Structure 1
Amino acid sequence: MQTSDIIRESKCYIYVTLRQKPELKEKAATWFHNKWEVPREAYLECMEAYLNHETEYGWYLCLDKERIVGGLGVIENDFHDRKDLTPNVCAVYTDKEYRCQGIAGQLLDIVVKDMKSKGITPIYLITDHTSFYERYGWEFLCMVQGDNEPDMTRMYIHR
């Protein structure tokens, strides 16, 4: 699969990688920061590494025209103690008014296919959701300790 194969249209939404729309970098970093309160600079640093081909761990967006309505990224570690379980899907989010339309599922499908096409498998994610990710082929793997978190979090794997 080539990166150009990832652009998909569904209803009136377009799914792209940040490499396909690098002009959205600043907007995407702000969008993710507003959703997760991780410093904007941290997103920009990861996005720059992806755009400069320093990593194949990418950023995936769902657009309604030019508006970002959903997205996720792939990073080395999503703030947990199992540094051996890498890479991690992170920052999965769909704007509230766009939920229940399959956007997150489509993004998850795209990222799994893209990572596999690059020989990157398995991939992992942490979440406190139950049953959502199983619908998209993810399997519960174990519990992990979040960085600076007292509670354990669920770790999923996609092989």
Structure 2
Amino acid sequence: MGIQIVNLAEHKEYFETVCQWLWKQWASDKPIEFVRYAVLHNSQIDRVPMTFVALDGEEPVGTVSFWMNDLSCRQDLSPWLASLYVDEEQRGKGIARELQNRVIEEATKLGYSDLYLITTHDDYYERFGWNFIEKAPKLSGDFTKIYSKDLRSL
């Protein structure tokens, strides 16, 4: 059947699964209610911010978000692919590529010419055609990397 990417705003039955993934991956030092509140308000149907869920049949296997900003010190860059997550047991199957492509499709449809993301991964997003821009300092004292994708060349 293949992987299907759906908008979380239209499939709220996957809301708690997405919240649990994001909380465990990036926000376990915060109350889960913080993540639930953020996901709820980052799940629009036809405008940014959006959240998508990858489904294998009816089983959620990954998620990604499309936000106006994911790095407070770079308000000049917008919009962003954010919170890309694939369930550990499902990795290596091309789901991350499909999730990225859905955000790229939405960004293009909405008329954006560039898309950005931040990551601490090395040599991952380059495989998907993202271009490294620079390292940016984080409040914790370490650094994150900013990448861009030119949507005009797609």
Following superposition, the deviation at residue 80 of structure 1 comes to 4.0
Tell me the residue number matched to 1:44. 40
Tell me the residue number matched to 2:84. 92
- Structure 2: gaps (5+ residues): none
Tell me the residue number matched to 1:150. 141
Following superposition, the deviation at residue 23 of structure 1 comes to 4.2
Tell me the residue number matched to 2:23. 33
Following superposition, the deviation at residue 35 of structure 1 comes to 2.8
TM-score, normalised to structure 1, is: 0.79
For the residue of structure 2 that corresponds to 1:120, the secondary structure is coil
Pairwise CA RMSD:
2.0
Displaced runs of 4+ in structure 1, greater than 3 A? 22-27
Aligned AA (2:40) = L
Distance 1:32 1:64 in 2: 19
Tell me the residue number matched to 1:107. 99
Following superposition, the deviation at residue 157 of structure 1 comes to 0.2
Tell me the residue number matched to 1:16. 6
May I ask how many residue pairs the two structures share in their alignment? Answer: 144
CA contact (8 A) 1:80 1:145 kept: no
Aligned AA (1:156) = Y
How does 1:78-89 map onto structure 2 within 5 Å? 78-89=70-81
Residue from 74, 94, 100 that aligns with 2:66 = 74
Deviations 1:120-144 (A, max 9, x none): 2311000011221112121001111
CA contact (8 A) 2:51 2:63 kept: yes
Following superposition, the deviation at residue 29 of structure 1 comes to 3.0
CA contact (8 A) 1:33 1:43 kept: no
Name which of structure 1's ranges 125-134 and 71-80 shifts more when overlaid on structure 2: 71-80
Distance 2:130 2:90 in 1: 22
TM-score, normalised to structure 2, is: 0.81
Change (3 A) 1:97 1:24: closer
